[in-house]
Amino acid sequence: MLQPRSGLVALPDEQEWTVWDDERGRLRWCLLVDEAGSGATGMMTLDEGGRLAPHRHAPAELYLVHSGEAAVLLDGTEFHVGPGAVVHIPGDAEHGVRAAGTGPVRIMFVFPTSTFDDVVYCFGHDAEPGRQEVAGGL
């Protein structure tokens, strides 16, 4: 990646992807931007049947649906979204997402933080806001 003062071009297919297949969910994700002063932006892919389990974190987050159909759980309400949808997730709101169509879902996520290390994930229905479980990992 280029330094932010020079501009930044990051392509998902050129990034290192992390794969989860456990209680946190079944998905792949990568960071596209993670530079002090530029925030943290990444991409997640959920194949058919994939999901990101309900969780919380202190910073607000945006989901921008790039492709596919998804069901986003936000504080107990499920919303069905498709390409072009933007989902605003307030800080400490419980949320999760699952693939809801017949193909993969690609969602860009954006945090208004200095770096991704500022995001501390709490998984589980009983997770208390601010409880630290997984730091800097989607």
**Does any domain span residue 90?**
yes
135 pLDDT band (50/70/90 cuts)?
very low
What domain range includes position 67?
32-122
Residue 55 binned pLDDT confidence (cut-offs 50, 70, 90):
very high
2 is a domain residue? no
Residues 6+ apart with CB under 8 A from 47: 26, 27, 99, 104
5 in a structural domain: no
Q: Give pTM, 2 decimals.
A: 0.84
Q: What is the DSSP letter of 26?
A: E
13 part of a folded domain? no
* Structural domain count of the chain: 1
